[in-house]
Structure 1
Amino acid sequence: MTDTNALGQQQAAPLGVAVVGAGYWGPNLVRNFQSSPHFRLRWLCDLDVERARKVLGGYSTVQATADYAAVLADPEVDAVAVATPAGTHLDVALAAVRAGKHVLVEKPLAATYADGAVLVAEAEERGVTLMCDHTYCYTPAVGRIRELVHAGELGEVHFVDSVRINLGLVQKDIDVMWDLAPHDLSILDFILPEGVEPVAVAAHGADPIGAGQACVAYLTLQLSSGAIAHVHVNWLSPTKVRTTMVGGSKRTLIWDDLNPAQRVALFDRGVDLATPQELGVHERRSMQISYRTGDMIAPALPEKEALRSMVDEFAGAITEGRAPLTDGRAGLRVLDILEAASRSLEFKGAVVGLRTGH
C-alpha cells in the first residue's frame, strides 16, 4: 500500500550543480552546495585539477576536471556557480547560460558594465536564472536592516555612511575601490527602499605608498530622494572597522559587523524640524529644530551562515521561476557605480551621473 502522506512530503529532486574555480571562493561554495538539500554537487572544474581534487578530499564522489565543455555537456547539471577571476566571468558565465544552465556569479558580476549587460540580456532571453553572489546581503544583519528600512521603521532615509577599512592585502590588478566597495554598494542597493536609487557619484582616492593604484578611497553618492550615501574603503588602516549607519527621519540604525554581541542597534534619537506649515511668517526665517533622545534597542538576530542563505535563495529562484534577491540587474547597478566612480577618480572627484532604472 502506498503511503500518500510520505509522498506528499517528498522533496523535489535536488538540482545538479557544478562549481567552476577552486581558488579562494570556490571551496566555500563547494561546502555550502554539498550541505544543501536543494543541490547535488556533481563537478568541481578548475584549470588545476590537482587543486580541485584537494578541495574535494579523497573520499568525494564529486568529479574534478579541467574540461569545462564536459561539465556543460552533462544533462544532469542544472546550474553552474562561477568563482573564477572577474576578467573571465563573461566567457565562463555566458557559456553556461548558452548551454541552458542557471548561473550564479561571485561579485563583481563582470569586469565591466558592458560585459555584465551582455550576460543579463542573454540570461533573460534564454529564460535562465542569473544571480550575483552579493554575500553580505544574505547575512542576518543586512536582512534585518532591509526589513526595517522597507517597513518604514526608520522613516525616510536621510543618509547612509559605510566604513570598510583594514590593513589589507594590496591588490596588483585592482584598486581599493574595486576590491572593497562592491560589498558596501551591493548592501546599499539591497537595503534602499523602493523608488530610491543612486543617481550620481563623486570619488576621491589616494596612493600614499606608491602602490600604483588608490589604496584609500571615499565615494559620495547622491540618491534620487535627495539623501546622501558615503563609503570609505581603505587598505592602510591599522585597525579593522566594518560599520554602516543608516539615518532616517524617525530612527537611526548602526550595524557593527565586528561586534557579535550587538551587531545591529536601533536608536530613537535624532533631529526634528518643524514644517513651514506649522510656523508663522517670522518663524520661518529660523526653522525650529528640536532634538529627541529615546531608547536604543538591539534586535535579536538568527545565527545562519550568509552563504547558506544565498544558496537557498538560488535554489528558490530556480524552482519558483522568479528573480533572485540579488539578480543580474543588481550586479549591473553595482558595476555602473564602480565604473562611474573610476571616471570620477580620473577627473579628481568630478560628479559623474549614473545610468538609472536598469
Structure 2
Amino acid sequence: MIMNSKLKVGVIGLGAWGCNVARCLYENPDCDLVACSDVSESRRALAERNWNTQTAVSLDEMLANFPEIRAIVISTPAVTHFSLAKQALLAGKDVFVEKPFTLKVSHAEELLALAESLGRILMVGHLLEYHPAVNRIREIVQSGELGETYYIYTQRVNLGRIRGDENALWSFAPHDISQILYILGEEPIDVSARGQSFIQNGIEDVVFLSLFFQNRRMAHIHISWLDPHKMRSTTVVGSRKMLVFDDAATTEKLRIYDSGAQTPATCSYGEAIQVRFGDIQIPHLASTEPLKLEFQHFIDCVNHRTTPRSDARDGLRVVRILEAAQKSLEHDGVPISLEHGTVRTAPSKTAVLNRQWTPQLPVFPVAATAVAQA
C-alpha cells in the first residue's frame, strides 16, 4: 500500500533533541506535523509558534484529540519509551522511538512482538545508520577495500549534557553500538565495561566499553560527559587500509589512509615488520542532515509498509548489548557472554586467539522472549 497524502505525525517530547525532531518533520514536504506534546507549557507554546502546530499535554490527550494522526514519534526520556511506545502501538499507530529503544531486553522483546502482531511499523532512532559518512564506511568495509577488519574504536565525549535518569552508557553508547553493528554486519559474542561515577553517585559519567567479535575482531567505545574535548570520532583499522570519521569536523569528515603493517611472507629472526605509509583519500559525502534522512526513511517505510533499517530487531540487538554492558559495569568489568548470558573464565592467550575457552555456569540468564498482550 502506498499512501499519496502527507503522513500525519504527532511528536511526544519537546526537549532539546525533541525540538530538532519536530523541526525536521515540520520541514519535510511528505509530512504533516499535526500536534506536539510536552508537559511544559513554554515548550508547547514554542511548538505552536515555530511550527504552526497544535499541542497536547500528554499522549492520551493527543490520541483523543487528533485521531487523524497515523504515526507517533517519541523523543521523551528513555525511562518512558516502553510505556509510550506500547500505548501508541495499541492505539493502532506506527511508532518511531528515539534511542535507547528501551531500558530492558524484556521490554524491547515485548514491543517487537506487539508491533509484529498488530502489523505496525516500529523504528528506533539509530541516527548514525543514516549518516552519509557511516553508510560510506559500511560500503568500504563490506567491499573489502580495507582488507580484513582488525578493530574499531569510537570516542563520544563532551563536557555537559549530564543526565540524572540514565548513565553515560545508556545515553551515548547506543549511537556507537548501532554504528559498529551496522558497519560490520555482525553481532559481538561478549562484552565488558568499566566506568566510574564522579558527579552523581551510581550514575556513571565515563565508561570504557569493549566488544569482542568472531575472528578476533574487536571494538572499543569511550563515552563520557565529563571530558575537556568534544569528540565524535570513529576509527576502523584493516589489514590493508585504515579510515577515520570525525563527525565534529566541519569539512573532510572522512579520511581513508592507504597505510598499514605487514609481516613478510618469509620472515627470519630479527627482520622488521613492513610498515607502509601511503596516500590519504578524502571521499565526497552528501551534506544532507542525517536526522532528515532518518525521518524520510521512516515516512517511506510507513507509506510503503516496508521494514525500517533500524527496526525493532535492530533496537533489541543494541539493548541486549547495553544490558550486558550494564551487568559488566556492576561486576567490575567482568566479560559477559552474549551467546549464553554467562561470565567468562580467565582464558589463556592461546584460547583467546582461537576462541576456544569454556564459560562458567550461567549467572546472568538471558531474558526470555516476552509475549505481548494486546
- TM class, shorter-chain normalised? 0.7 to 0.9
Q: Distance in 1 between matches of 2:308 and 2:184?
A: 16
SS in 1 for 2:4: coil
Distance in 2 of aligned mates of 1:54 and 1:209: 32
Give the C-alpha shift of residue 319 in structure 1: 2.3
| C-alpha separation in 2, matches of 1:166 and 1:59 | 30
* Compared CA separation, residues 343 and 197, structure 1 to 2 (3 A): same
2:207 aligns with 217
2:348 counterpart residue number: none
Corresponding residue of 1:346 = 330
1:33 corresponding residue in structure 2 = 25
The equivalent of 2:237 in structure 1 is 247
Cα distance in 2, alignment partners of residues 269 and 14 from structure 1: 49
Q: Secondary structure, in 3 states, of the residue corresponding to 1:198?
A: coil
How much has 1:211 moved relative to structure 2?
Answer: 4.2
Distance 1:54 1:254, change over 3 A: same
Name the CA distance, whole Å, in 2 between partners of 1:257 and 1:70.
38
1:47 aligns to 2:39 (yes or no): yes
Whole-Å separation in 2 of the counterparts to 1:241 and 1:53: 34
Q: Distance in 2 between matches of 1:302 and 1:90?
A: 34
Distance 1:69 1:245, change over 3 A: same
Contact 1:273 1:287 in 2 (8 A): no
2:79 pairs, out of 69, 72, 87, with 87
Unaligned runs of 5+ in 1: 1-10
Partner of 1:7: none
Match of 1:64 in 2: 55
Please give the residue correspondences for 1:267-278 in structure 2 after superposition, counting only pairs within 5 Å: 267-273=257-263
CA distance change for structure 1 residues 265 and 52 in 2, over 3 Å: closer, same or farther? same
Q: Which of the residues 255, 267, 280 maps onto 1:265?
A: 255
The alignment's C-alpha RMSD in Å is: 2.4
User: Which of residues 269, 279, 282 is equivalent to 1:295?
Assistant: 279
> Cα–Cα, structure 1 residues 55 and 70, in superposed 2: closer, same or farther, change >3 Å?
closer
The answer for the alignment partner of 1:6 in structure 2 is none
CA drift at 1:323: 1.4
Number of matched residues?
A: 339
Show the counterpart of 2:354: none
Partner SS for 2:216 = coil
Contact 1:157/1:248 (<8 A) preserved: yes
- Which residue of 2 is the match for residue 106 of structure 1? 98
Matched-pair contact (CA < 8 Å) for 2:26–2:51: no
Shift of 1:12: 1.9
Aligned to 1:180: 172
The answer to whether the 8 Å contact 2:151/2:237 transfers is yes
Name the structure 2 match of 1:142. Answer: 134
Out of 9, 16, 22, which is 2:8 matched to?
Answer: 16
Q: What is the CA-CA distance between 1:98 and the residue it aligns to?
A: 1.4
Q: Displacement, 1:69?
A: 3.1
Q: CA deviation at 1:200?
A: 0.7
Question: Per the alignment, do residues 176 and 77 of structure 1 end up closer, same or farther by CA in structure 2, a change over 3 Å counting?
Answer: same
Counterpart residue number, 2:350: none
Unaligned runs of 5+ in 2: 341-368, 370-374
Is structure 2 residue 213 aligned with structure 1 residue 229? no
Residue 194 of structure 2 aligns to a residue whose secondary structure is: strand
Partners of 1:203 and 1:217 within 8 A in 2: yes
CA distance in 2, matches of 1:231, 1:215: 14
Task: Give the direction of change, closer, same or farther, for the CA distance of 1:295–1:12 in structure 2 (3 Å limit).
Answer: same
One-letter code aligned to 2:60? A
TM-aligned CA distance change 1:59 to 1:135, over 3 Å = closer
Q: Give the direction of change, closer, same or farther, for the CA distance of 1:266–1:117 in structure 2 (3 Å limit).
A: same
Say whether the 8 Å CA contact 1:158–1:228 is kept in structure 2. Answer: yes
CA contact (8 A) 1:49 1:64 kept: no
Question: CA separation in 2, counterparts of 1:67 and 1:169?
Answer: 25
Aligned residue for 2:16, secondary structure, equals: coil
1:202-261 CA distance string (max 9 Å, x none): 111123456443222111110123200001112222122221101122211101122222
Q: Which residue of 2 is the match for residue 8 of structure 1? A: none
Going from structure 1 to structure 2, the CA distance change for 1:286 and 1:131 (only over 3 Å counts) comes to farther
Q: In structure 1, what residue type is equivalent to 2:321?
A: I
CA displacement 1:79-137 (0-9 Å, x = unmatched): 11011111111111111111221100011111211111111111111111111111232
C-alpha contact (below 8 Å) 1:205/1:217 kept by paired residues = yes
Shift of 1:63: 1.6
Q: Which residue of 2 aligns with 1:4?
A: none
Contact 1:251/1:266 (8 A) holds in 2: yes
Most deviating of 202-211 and 344-353: 202-211
In structure 2, relative to structure 1, the CA distance for the partners of 1:349 and 1:26 (3 Å cut) is same
Cα distance 1:134–1:127, how it changes in 2: closer, same or farther (>3 A)?
Answer: same
Q: How far 1:146 moved relative to its partner?
A: 1.8
SS at match of 2:321: helix
Give the Cα separation in 2 of the matches to 1:100 and 1:197: 32
Mapped pair 1:169 → 2:153: no
TM-aligned CA distance change 1:192 to 1:289, over 3 Å = same
Aligned partner of 1:157 in structure 2 is 149
